[in-house]
Structure 1
Amino acid sequence: MADSIAELIFIPAPGVGHIISTIEIAKLLVTRDHQLSITVLVINPPPTFGSGSAITTYIQSLANTTMDRISFIELPQDKTRQDSKAPMAAFTDFINSHCKHVRKIVADKMSQPDSGRVAGFVVDMFCTGMIDVANEFNVPTFVFFTSNAAFLGFKLYIQTLSDNKNQDVVELSNSDSTISVPSFVKPVPTKVFPTICQSQEGLEFVLGSARKLREAKAIIVNTFLELETHAIDSLSKESTIPMVYPVGPILNLEAGAGKASSDDDIIAWLDTQPPSSVVFLCFGSMGSFDEDQVKEIANGLERSGHRFLWSLRRPPSDQTSRAPSDYEDPETVLPEGFLERTAGIGKVTGWVPQVAVLAHVAVGGFVSHCGWNSLLESLWFGVPSAAWPIYAEQQINAFEMVVELGLAVEIKLDYKKDFFNPKADKVTAEEIESGVRRLMEDNKVRTEVKEMREKSRAAVLEGGSSYASVGRLILDVKRNIL
């Protein structure tokens, strides 16, 4: 059995941020051990993302991708739609509708005599319904948690409050108070709870997901010990929580390279700017603002006097797609004369190659939506962030970075805009100006971020904390074929 191949079935969620980090951990695992092979089962985005979206195009392209000991299979998608259902219930049903296709593929693999032994499933945090399929084949499930350890602890604690302590979490989430969460040192204000916790329908999604997490053999988290020492320690002390493997930062440092002809123009512009002088504003693949908010951002930037590179995206035009797009002419939503007045110090563009921009010596600060991948990238390159969370768990991420760890400054920690809260409060030009000034002028935060940069890079090198954690994970996987 010494030369047996252990095959893992990876099932990422249909979002670019999720699938990119999933592919990176897959590449890391097969690089670290030649006895591992991986099949990635690709779920295409639901119809609400729009069939022509960049997410759909990217994910569908994976089926034609070849990597050493990593293969991709695009799963069929049912034609039925359940538009009458609440959003999160519909999303859960959409993911689970693929269970029958996963079951068939795995059964076919197991029936082939020359196939490797299926040693386990590695499923995204949004695909935990697949644990039931893995159980049918008597193989363990490892959940890949693409956010941070503190949020994992928060999610599990919310479930404990509801199921074991009969706490009305919806009422709590809509209050103005703080609670002690084991994975945080400091009390967590309820104003940074994800919007999803403020309604019963949303809470049921969170509780169902947390209950399934506890059924996993282990949880793989895209973080590292030196960043989240307290959170990781708190999770390891809880007997009802599966083994946690911190394996990060898992990053695609070539992400988006060569995606658009504008890339060269953006980098060429940065090449003309002084070191650490440019504020970079980017709000993720799903982040966008209405015209009033765009004008406030523009006014805040202009008043700050700092150089800037702004990735400005147009909100979805209707309900058939949730993905933003680029403006044909951004001047239509910007204050009159803004582009002319800032021509010497600023650049407004559409999609940007975020990794390449953060790596550039001219970039000195990052106004971010606080998606976890983006925060890890900013720490990797030693660029301090100004927190402007928008949706999902980003408010919790922002609180951790600003208040808990002191690695970012605040623009507005409790800003929320998603399908539970489509009309967000406006962030004023004064708040944006103040946040940008702190971002570019707070040397304490800048020093802390530079130190964490070195720790993040050391964690993944041989002898580092995440390197060792990946080694333990591989041993755990391979026990299933011995």
Structure 2
Amino acid sequence: MKKAELVFIPAPGISHLMSTVEVAKLLLDRDERLSITFLIMSLSYDSKTACYIDSLSATCNRIRFIKLPEDEPEPNTFLFSLIGTQKRHVKEEVSKLVSQSESSPDSPTLAGFVLDFFCTSMIDVANEFGVPSYIFLTTGAAYLGLQFYIQALHDEQRVDATQFKDSNAELVMPCLAYPLPAKALPSAALNKEWLPAFLDQARRFRETKGIIVNTFEELESHAINSFSNGNTPPVYPVGPILNLNRDGDHDVESDKRKDIKQWLDDQPLSSVVYLCFGSMGSFGVDQVKEIACGLEQSGHRFLWSLRKPQPKGKMEIPSDYTNTQDVLPEGFLDRTAQIGKIIGWGPQIDILSHPSVGGFVSHCGWNSILESIWFGVPIAAWPLQAEQQLNAFKIIVELGFGVEIKMDYRREFFYDDNENIISAGEIERGIRCLMELGREKVERLKEMSEKSRKALMEGGSSYTWLGQLIHEMVDNIP
């Protein structure tokens, strides 16, 4: 029985790393021939990654983590420049693995690279070692189809996607069942500085042996079917890939976790709206006050993950407030003491799985969407950046089990000088729609929640796709 080694290269940042580790676990659980080495790039401002890896190292005996030397790029340069500086370190580490394999007959054979979709430049390194590359996409299949569409539009029809910025155009693309408003295009497609990298990414996807997507057939059947024409590498929907064991949540102190659980235990069934905008999501004081007023006016119970913005122009993860009274309307905490609770960073899986939570005001990050579907908690969409506007469109228009706060709201990465303010009235309306969702939408979400669980079970769609992927990776080693 031939043993195989896969090299995983996740993008820097805890949310991408967590999803990638969960994929690795799925592969290892299914095939005992496999072992996996993670090559970890870290960012100076990201303290969570080290804690997360430490928590895993003791429990995952066929996964090992190698931290690459830090080559910090110039401040505020985009992620790709950091990844580019790491190619030589990756080559050095993989050379060691290959030497080890060649010197010992019991060592596994290098079978391929699994690359985060930001790490396409590492395809060059895989090619040097003569092994295939696979992309792992931490977002949905519709995003993949959109990226191929924008790239083909540019390369074949000479259409520059940045012309759609602030446009009212609607785009018909094979990966979506409904025309997409141009205002819901990903930020990178509308930005002249980022578009070249976005296009190059899609071109490089086409060079790979396959694309692993964190989704499942039943959720994105239209998008997945759009890849069956043979114009792209094989697409493997193996999700939903969720961190249900709560690995990496150890930075949420046990006392804080107990306090949140106790508060939720005391609330009526499905009565609480949970507000959280992801690991990078935060707002300035003016917007915080509007959210507070909207919550208070709605009259609904709430649990709000309120975080302090990073300093302007700096790539830092938002931190928790030492005193939230500094940014909230005067008297807000006293007036809402019986119905609301404000926290900093919280254990999202624990919160969404709690029976008292009935709605989720979310930035529509893909992990958050999959978690909300898994636990059957409807979303009010308030996207911020990246592909979150597309994700909001998916859940509201295509899937029909979300509501809108503002689907085309957008903020640029780390450079927010002019923050668009959503009024308390709009927020109140969105929360009321969310917490009084119609029966038809609730049932639709419940059905999808059941399908998400069945997809991973033996005989389920994602289980079957994962088997095909392993066959492709391991059974074809020379």
The TM-score normalised by the length of structure 2 is 0.95
Q: Look up the match of 1:246.
A: 237
Which of 423, 446, 453 is the matching residue for 1:450?
A: 446
For residues 104 and 63 of structure 1, do their structure 2 counterparts lie closer, same or farther at Cα, with a shift above 3 Å needed?
farther
Structure 2, unaligned stretches of length 5 or more?
Answer: none
The answer to whether structure 1 residue 74 and structure 2 residue 67 are counterparts is yes
Shift of the alpha carbon at 1:56? 4.6
Q: Look up the match of 2:113.
A: 121
Residues 418-433 of structure 1 correspond to what in structure 2 (within 5 A)? 418-419=412-413, 422=416, 423-433=418-428
The answer to whether structure 1 residue 441 and structure 2 residue 433 are counterparts is no
For residues 421 and 108 of structure 1, do their structure 2 counterparts lie closer, same or farther at Cα, with a shift above 3 Å needed?
closer
Instruction: Please tell me whether the aligned partners of residues 385 and 411 of structure 2 are also in contact (alpha carbons under 8 angstroms).
Output: yes
Q: Determine the C-alpha separation between the residues in 2 that align with 1:204 and 1:65.
A: 41
Q: Look up the match of 2:463.
A: 467
Q: Determine the C-alpha separation between the residues in 2 that align with 1:63 and 1:279.
A: 32
Q: Determine the C-alpha separation between the residues in 2 that align with 1:386 and 1:30.
A: 36
Q: Determine the C-alpha separation between the residues in 2 that align with 1:216 and 1:130.
A: 11
Q: Residue 19 of structure 2 aligns to a residue in which SS?
A: helix
The answer to whether structure 1 residue 100 and structure 2 residue 85 are counterparts is no
Q: Residue 343 of structure 1 aligns to a residue in which SS?
A: coil
Instruction: Please tell me whether the aligned partners of residues 273 and 359 of structure 2 are also in contact (alpha carbons under 8 angstroms).
Output: yes
Q: Determine the C-alpha separation between the residues in 2 that align with 1:196 and 1:420.
A: 13
Q: Look up the match of 1:220.
A: 212
Structure 1, unaligned stretches of length 5 or more?
Answer: none
Shift of the alpha carbon at 1:390? 0.6
- Residues 389-446 of structure 1, C-alpha deviations (whole Å, 9 max, x = no match): 0111101110111111112111101111123762231111111111111111112222
Instruction: Please tell me whether the aligned partners of residues 312 and 414 of structure 2 are also in contact (alpha carbons under 8 angstroms).
Output: no
Q: Residue 200 of structure 1 aligns to a residue in which SS?
A: coil
Instruction: Please tell me whether the aligned partners of residues 359 and 377 of structure 2 are also in contact (alpha carbons under 8 angstroms).
Output: yes
Q: Determine the C-alpha separation between the residues in 1 that align with 2:419 and 2:397.
A: 22
Q: Look up the match of 1:339.
A: 333
Q: Residue 266 of structure 1 aligns to a residue in which SS?
A: helix
Q: Residue 157 of structure 2 aligns to a residue in which SS?
A: coil
Shift of the alpha carbon at 1:60? 6.1
The TM-score normalised by the length of structure 1 is 0.94
Shift of the alpha carbon at 1:195? 2.3
Runs of 4+ in 1 over 3 A off after TM superposition: 53-66, 318-321
Instruction: Please tell me whether the aligned partners of residues 63 and 74 of structure 1 are also in contact (alpha carbons under 8 angstroms).
Output: no
Q: Which amino acid aligns with 2:145?
A: G
Q: Determine the C-alpha separation between the residues in 2 that align with 1:9 and 1:250.
A: 19
The answer to whether structure 1 residue 476 and structure 2 residue 472 are counterparts is yes
Q: Residue 330 of structure 2 aligns to a residue in which SS?
A: coil
Q: Determine the C-alpha separation between the residues in 2 that align with 1:63 and 1:136.
A: 30
Q: Determine the C-alpha separation between the residues in 2 that align with 1:305 and 1:148.
A: 34
Instruction: Please tell me whether the aligned partners of residues 274 and 303 of structure 2 are also in contact (alpha carbons under 8 angstroms).
Output: yes
Instruction: Please tell me whether the aligned partners of residues 44 and 60 of structure 1 are also in contact (alpha carbons under 8 angstroms).
Output: no
Q: Residue 480 of structure 1 aligns to a residue in which SS?
A: coil
The answer to whether structure 1 residue 87 and structure 2 residue 77 are counterparts is yes
Q: Greater CA deviation, 129-138 or 57-66? A: 57-66
Instruction: Please tell me whether the aligned partners of residues 405 and 430 of structure 2 are also in contact (alpha carbons under 8 angstroms).
Output: yes
Q: Look up the match of 2:275.
A: 281
Q: Determine the C-alpha separation between the residues in 2 that align with 1:39 and 1:378.
A: 31
Q: Determine the C-alpha separation between the residues in 1 that align with 2:347 and 2:156.
A: 45
Q: Residue 476 of structure 2 aligns to a residue in which SS?
A: helix
Q: Determine the C-alpha separation between the residues in 2 that align with 1:130 and 1:292.
A: 42
Instruction: Please tell me whether the aligned partners of residues 42 and 63 of structure 1 are also in contact (alpha carbons under 8 angstroms).
Output: no
Q: Residue 341 of structure 2 aligns to a residue in which SS?
A: strand
Instruction: Please tell me whether the aligned partners of residues 196 and 420 of structure 1 are also in contact (alpha carbons under 8 angstroms).
Output: no
Instruction: Please tell me whether the aligned partners of residues 301 and 340 of structure 2 are also in contact (alpha carbons under 8 angstroms).
Output: yes
Q: Residue 240 of structure 1 aligns to a residue in which SS?
A: coil
For residues 246 and 161 of structure 1, do their structure 2 counterparts lie closer, same or farther at Cα, with a shift above 3 Å needed?
same
Q: Which amino acid aligns with 1:134?
A: A
- Residues 28-52 of structure 1, C-alpha deviations (whole Å, 9 max, x = no match): 101100011100111102x4xx2xx
Q: Look up the match of 1:42.
A: 40
Q: Determine the C-alpha separation between the residues in 2 that align with 1:147 and 1:466.
A: 15
Q: Look up the match of 2:183.
A: 191
**Residue correspondences, number:** 469
Q: Look up the match of 1:203.
A: 195
Q: Residue 383 of structure 2 aligns to a residue in which SS?
A: coil
Shift of the alpha carbon at 1:63? 8.7
Q: Determine the C-alpha separation between the residues in 2 that align with 1:74 and 1:305.
A: 48
Shift of the alpha carbon at 1:111? 1.3
Instruction: Please tell me whether the aligned partners of residues 312 and 415 of structure 2 are also in contact (alpha carbons under 8 angstroms).
Output: no
Residues 352-371 of structure 1 correspond to what in structure 2 (within 5 A)? 352-371=346-365
Q: Determine the C-alpha separation between the residues in 1 that align with 2:93 and 2:57.
A: 18
Q: Determine the C-alpha separation between the residues in 2 that align with 1:241 and 1:206.
A: 17
Q: Look up the match of 1:171.
A: 163
- Residues 112-170 of structure 1, C-alpha deviations (whole Å, 9 max, x = no match): 22221000000001111111100111100010000000011001100000011111211
Percent identity reads 52
Q: Determine the C-alpha separation between the residues in 2 that align with 1:124 and 1:185.
A: 27
Instruction: Please tell me whether the aligned partners of residues 164 and 183 of structure 2 are also in contact (alpha carbons under 8 angstroms).
Output: no
Instruction: Please tell me whether the aligned partners of residues 416 and 424 of structure 1 are also in contact (alpha carbons under 8 angstroms).
Output: no
The answer to whether structure 1 residue 328 and structure 2 residue 318 are counterparts is no
Q: Residue 251 of structure 1 aligns to a residue in which SS?
A: coil
Q: Determine the C-alpha separation between the residues in 2 that align with 1:463 and 1:154.
A: 29
Q: Determine the C-alpha separation between the residues in 2 that align with 1:25 and 1:203.
A: 28
Q: Look up the match of 1:14.
A: 12
Q: Residue 201 of structure 1 aligns to a residue in which SS?
A: coil
Q: Which amino acid aligns with 1:74?
A: K
Instruction: Please tell me whether the aligned partners of residues 14 and 59 of structure 1 are also in contact (alpha carbons under 8 angstroms).
Output: no
